[in-house]
Amino acid sequence: MKNIEYKKGDATNPSDNGNKIIVHICNNIGGWGKGFVLAISKRWKAPENSYRTWYRSKDNFNLGEVQFVQVEQDLWIANLIGQHKINKDENGNAPIRYDAVEEGLRKVADFASDINASVHMPRIGCGLAGGEWGIIEPIIKETILTKDINTTVYDF
């Protein structure tokens, strides 16, 4: 089984050859405007536009779903809905939903296998979503690395 490669750098500029998928976490209320999405929107308009259209359509816009948006010939953005709302709930739970992240990453792994792509991401779910890397990292290993997909995590 492969290991996650950790790199200093910009996750919106993956340094692999061949097909690449950049994964990030979205919320389930149609909000796009803070965190890593700003770096994505600075480089490409399509991921935000596609996410907003998907939200308005209500067509399978649910936790655990993933939208793949092709932004370059060999590059896709994976809008993974893994966050419930944007603030802690009444019980003090962070917006991250680990089961949804896992479900979404299984879809990412399948798509990456289908198009022979490597996977790239920041430390997903650990910023505004309030997740813990100690929980996310094993999910990545279980979903993506077991399929022998090259995976890089970027620390900015």
**pLDDT 10s per residue in the chain (156 long)?**
789 999 999 999 998 999 999 999 999 999 999 999 999 999 999 999 999 999 999 999 999 999 999 999 999 999 999 999 999 989 999 999 999 999 999 999 999 999 999 999 999 999 999 999 999 999 999 999 999 999 999 998
Closest alpha carbon to 63 in 85, 89, 86, 81: 81
Contact call for residues 88 and 95 (beta carbons, < 8 A): yes
| CATH number of residue 101's parent domain | 3.40.220.10
pTM of the model: 0.97
By residue range, what is the domain housing residue 33? 4-155
